Structure 1
Amino acid sequence: MVFGAGKASNSVQWDEDSVEYMAANPVRIAFVLVVHGRASRQLQRMFKAIYHKDHFYYIHVDKRSSYLHRQVLQCASQYPNVRVTSWRMATIWGGASLLSTYLQSMRDLMEMKDWPWDFFINLSAADYPIRYRDQPF
């Protein structure tokens, strides 16, 4: 048997006879949220469902969505683990601009030494989790 085989991280420990596990060190996720339009309620609903104090949230608002950008800035100021990109791009779903947005977001996250994240997940305001935030994977 290889130590750690089948696990994403050696900090995750579990009993071989059980599907339940206990994290020795909690996994910290950096969520990158790419949002646009006027879907502020949809974004708030998704954010409420995924928010956890141990995770990090980096939000990019499309350059053409000024109203949503103002709302996101106001909301982000209430949380120490939420930031909004200082730059904005006009993105097109499935286009190179969306890929550029994610790549720049990853560069930014790699430079944030005060955010010790383990995994990166990209989401849009249209995404919604299928499990509760405290439910094990």
Structure 2
Amino acid sequence: YNEFTGQCFCLSTLNNQHHLIIPNQKCTKIIFNNNNEKKNFTTIYRTGFIDFGNHLEKRRSIQNHNQTIIVFFLTVGGRKNLRQIKRLVRAIYLRQHYYLIHVDSRENYLYEELLRLSKRISNIHLTNKRYPTTWGASTLLTAHLDAFKQIFNELKWNFSFILNLSETDFPLKPIQVLTTFLSMYTSYNFLRSHSREPYKFIKSQGLFHTFIHCNDYMYRIDSRSLI
């Protein structure tokens, strides 16, 4: 008997038939003296669980979306990706937002092309420092930290959110939709967590190993214990 739905569901193993009876009717009325049928009798009890609901929706505060400013931080690389990067910038561009781009230090052609773009558009800038941003390398974190320092200490932008992207990202909805949504939650941070199995996540990220970054390459040198 399911107290949440008020329905009783019984399965007979003899003829493999399902019996769904009306609410408030007890299962014992349709369970016979057959032992095989009694084995499949299950009761679901109320545990005191209360639906949490969408508290984010309840606490939202309406704000003019024109006052919500987003800083898009792009880490890009690869000479062949120039066309895709320009396509991404066109898709997420609004005059009210800011765009800071870090170009891999090994990609001089890409840097020169994006430098021309930044000179034509006032709210697009390139980072002062460049690193070889190998995926999984410590330089990827360093590039982000230096970019944030540049935003706060040099550019001094007044903004509501920072979104970090790569050239392989692309929006599924117009940038106006994202801006309007974020304008309702300017006092919130949106962070993406890992999966529901922390141990598998930690193992897949290589946290049980020690790495060293040398000559633009990450070397695994030993195992380590996190405890």
Measured against aligned partners, the alpha-carbon deviations of 1:2-53 in whole angstroms (never above 9, x if no partner) come to xx9633xxxx41xxxxxxxx52762101111111011100000100000000
The reply on whether 1:76 has 2:126 as its aligned counterpart is no
- Counterpart in the other structure of 2:40: none
- Counterpart in the other structure of 1:100: 142
The reply on whether 1:86 has 2:128 as its aligned counterpart is yes
| Structure 1 residue 111: Cα displacement | 1.3
Amino acid at match of 1:34: T
Give 5+ residue unaligned stretches, structure 2: 1-56, 182-227
Contact 2:84 2:167 survives alignment (8 Å)? yes
The reply on whether 1:6 has 2:68 as its aligned counterpart is no
- Counterpart in the other structure of 1:16: none
Amino acid at match of 1:97: T
The residue matched to 1:63 in structure 2 has which SS? coil
| Structure 1 residue 55: Cα displacement | 0.3
Change (3 A) 1:134 1:81: same
TM-score of the pair, normalised by structure 1: 0.81
| Structure 1 residue 114: Cα displacement | 4.4
Change (3 A) 1:25 1:112: farther
**Structure with bigger RCO (C-alpha 8 Å, 6+ apart):** 1
Q: Aligned equivalents of 2:121 and 2:155: distance in 1?
A: 18
- Counterpart in the other structure of 1:118: 160
- Counterpart in the other structure of 1:48: 90
| Structure 1 residue 94: Cα displacement | 2.1
The reply on whether 1:60 has 2:102 as its aligned counterpart is yes
Q: Aligned equivalents of 1:24 and 1:48: distance in 2?
A: 19
The residue matched to 1:130 in structure 2 has which SS? coil
Q: Aligned equivalents of 1:6 and 1:74: distance in 2?
A: 43
State how many pairs are aligned.
122
TM-score of the pair, normalised by structure 2: 0.50
Contact 2:129 2:146 survives alignment (8 Å)? no
Name the Cα RMSD after superposition: 1.9
Q: Aligned equivalents of 2:77 and 2:146: distance in 1?
A: 17
Percent identical pairs in the alignment equals 33
- Counterpart in the other structure of 1:17: none
Give 5+ residue unaligned stretches, structure 1: 14-21
| Structure 1 residue 87: Cα displacement | 1.4
The residue matched to 2:120 in structure 1 has which SS? coil
Q: Aligned equivalents of 1:134 and 1:24: distance in 2?
A: 9
